[in-house]
Amino acid sequence: MIGDKAYDSDRLDRELAERYGIEMIAPHRGERRRPTQDGRPLRRYRRRWRVERLFAWLHHFRRLVIRWEYHVENFFGMVRLGCMQILFRYL
């Protein structure tokens, strides 16, 4: 899981690893005495902007910003439709 500096805590890292087997990737905060990352996993962190940009594009679809759909299946269908429309726009 990739997070920003707000998610940098030893307790959260331990809990995610024990419960779910997930490795948390977050740049360390400036006030840490010893850094938690050695730089290698942060290469994946640099590509995080792509996901955040997709969420920003999806917020242009009014039906996704205000959840009109009662059923989860219909809502996820609208998310897929929005993603397809974004994809076709940039092809």
Q: Give the residue among 58, 48, 49 at the shortest CA–CA distance from 87.
A: 58
pLDDT tens across 50-73, in order? 778 888 888 888 888 888 888 889
Total domains present in the chain:
2
* 7 within 8 A of 24, measured Cβ to Cβ: yes
Query: Same domain for 39 and 62?
Result: no
The number of beta carbons lying within 10 Å of the beta carbon of residue 75 is: 15
Q: How confident is the model at residue 1 (pLDDT cuts 50, 70, 90)?
A: confident
Q: Which domain holds residue 81?
A: 48-91
Residue range 19-54, pLDDT digits in tens: 888 887 777 776 666 665 555 666 666 777 777 888
Residue 39 shares a structural domain with residue 71 = no
Q: Residues 77, 40: one domain?
A: no
Residues 35, 56, single domain; the answer is no
Look at the chain and count its residues.
Answer: 91
